Structure 1
């Protein structure tokens, strides 16, 4: 009798265990299915947002071209005074897009560019003697501003913003003339760069904060005795560098192999001598938090707000916004395009940047086949 009771109890226990295992397994499968469905939905939403943003960018570019063409036809009948100005040269820069382009000059010493002068407007003799200076001023156009069409409207209809958001103030506003925002009544920029060499109709520069394709209006030599002002005073927030700096920049174990693979197709048109030198450039660029104000304040919200617009100090959030994508770990993956290569990275809550991999950027088409490259730097006259 006891043995029968024991067998019955064992059978009940086995059945109970089987039922519990079945229920646990079913719940696990349900959870896995829900996670996969949510991940699929999130990826789909991100792809849709990215596609919409690309379409909006193309529309804005087309609008810029149409506005410029319209302005040229109306300039003779304008009731305001205008002046005959046209670019004297175009910049070929390591910064393929606005995102990642430094907010100020000389912050990234390895940032290189070639200024190619229009030989029909600027004879090579115009550059004679410039190589004797260490630095030069560059006056240029913020040609990638997405609000250029406002400038051609009557002031009462332009809706021009008098105040802009400042990154160092974490989105706090200041009058546009108290900042270096690119969104100005006249979209003209002023920067300084190190003169590396003058070769024919090309000027080799370093420490630049200019995006590839920037039109240049004029250059002037930097004169320390009058351009450097001893005792100059600026607001306290201007010198708060820690606001935009990161804690550290590191690279994953897989980064070097992906860089070596990408380097094979980029080497001939690169402004850098080796993968290691390009890696140093990446580290210098990402030593500053290049994300927009909204991305820094609410990073995960931007998964559903890709392309959020905010104006900032030297590069507005609109110009500097970047697509975020969710990694398997739940962290946001950001992208930085340098020298035609797409670098993906994460940044944690403590400000530590981890560069994950690099690949050739298929979305960046070089503006012309004749590009400056490192060989020009290597052979520069001493």
Structure 2
């Protein structure tokens, strides 16, 4: 009896041991499987990381190759797009009458209005400490501008342009300040009058209204002025464009006062004058007309024409070799701040200003 009971207990213990062993095997297999899956996951992660590193390396190599290709390329289609940072509000409403060089008309005023979304007012702090500044801008009124930028390969420019101081004779474009250039970028200098928020008021300008500004830099006399710099003799011939005298008709002041009163009643800030009085504005007219602002073609073949064609005349559009003719009957127009000034010029170079009136809308 005792032996049977002992046998039963032994069998039970053996079964229990077998069950424990079986359970242990199951748990071990599960753990081994989990470890194997973890190892496989790590292997996949490592493989992906290696692939990413390889792709990044290949990307860097391709980028470096592309950069070297661009750097070594002579392809004229390569471009560097620039966005204007400011727009010019100038006293010169049209190209006609805008000085060909800066500072020759001290009363010529303008305001550079900076885009506040791109140029914070803080970026202009300190500029008022300089008397003058450089302005880099775009010749935005060039008639071939669209073709030049959109289809540069089809665009052609004249290697030589007609020079006013040479009575229309031609000179290489890079020996002149002509606006018609392969890259229509201009450089000028102006007197800094006031810095007010996102606006810079300047004078002595040669910029037409609406000119896009690319950059402004302070003028530094110690490095921007070059003592002993040389220029060709024809550049020194200022008297070629100088006017003998400027006179005004008897009723000019009255008509100017009338136009001024109407102008001061304008509500739009963009229409408010840059000048403080009719007298200052008349002095501006006198300074502008102290130089012969007519184009080469107008001086060679003076003819009656509408304001629009007078204002849009260019130096390079006329190939005539005729001698200069004069006529006391031709009426020319100068448009400043939307006011149309009519004048005549006689054989001796005397300018007679006849009247002033608001411009007629086209």
Give TM-score, length-normalised by structure 1.
Answer: 0.67
Aligned match of 1:217: 214
- 2:113/2:200 contact within 8 Å kept: yes
* Contact kept? 2:310, 2:333, Cα under 8 Å: no
Structure 1 residue 363 displacement after superposition: 2.8
Q: Which runs of 5+ in 1 are unaligned?
A: 1-77, 319-328, 365-382
- Deviations 1:114-138, CA, capped at 9 Å, x for gaps: 1000011101110011000000000
Is the alpha carbon distance of 1:158 and 1:172 closer, same or farther for their aligned partners in structure 2, counting shifts above 3 Å? same
Shift of 1:308: 11
Equivalent of 2:293 in 267, 272, 290? 290
Q: How many residues align?
A: 273
The answer to whether the 8 A contact 1:248-1:352 is kept is yes
Is 1:354 the counterpart of 2:343? The answer is no
1:339 is matched with: 337
Cα offset, 1:298, TM superposition: 2.3
Within a 5 Å distance, the mapping from 1:137-176 to structure 2 comes to: 137-152=134-149, 157-176=154-173
Aligned CA-pair RMSD: 2.4
C-alpha distance after superposition, 1:267-325 (max 9, x if no partner): 3511111111100000000000000111112224879xx5699754xxx568xxxxxxx
**Secondary structure, counterpart of 2:201 in structure 1:** strand
Which position in structure 1 is the counterpart of 2:269? none
SS of the residue 1:291 aligns to: coil
Query: CA contact under 8 A between 1:150 and 1:159: conserved in structure 2?
Result: no
* Structure 2: gaps (5+ residues): 1-74, 266-271, 319-326
1:192 aligns with 2:195: no
C-alpha displacement of 1:80: 2.5
Q: 1:163 to 1:302 in 2, by over 3 A?
A: farther
Report SS of the residue matched to 1:332. Answer: coil
Write the distance in 2 (CA, Å) between the matches of 1:113 and 1:309. Answer: 21
Quickly say closer, same or farther: Cα 1:197–1:85, change in 2 above 3 A. Answer: same
Determine if contact 1:300/1:332 at 8 Å carries over to the other structure: yes
Distance 1:358 1:79 in 2: 48
Q: Which whole-Å CA distance do the structure 2 matches of 1:311 and 1:336 have between them?
A: 15
> For 1:190 and 1:210, how far apart are their aligned partners in 2?
10
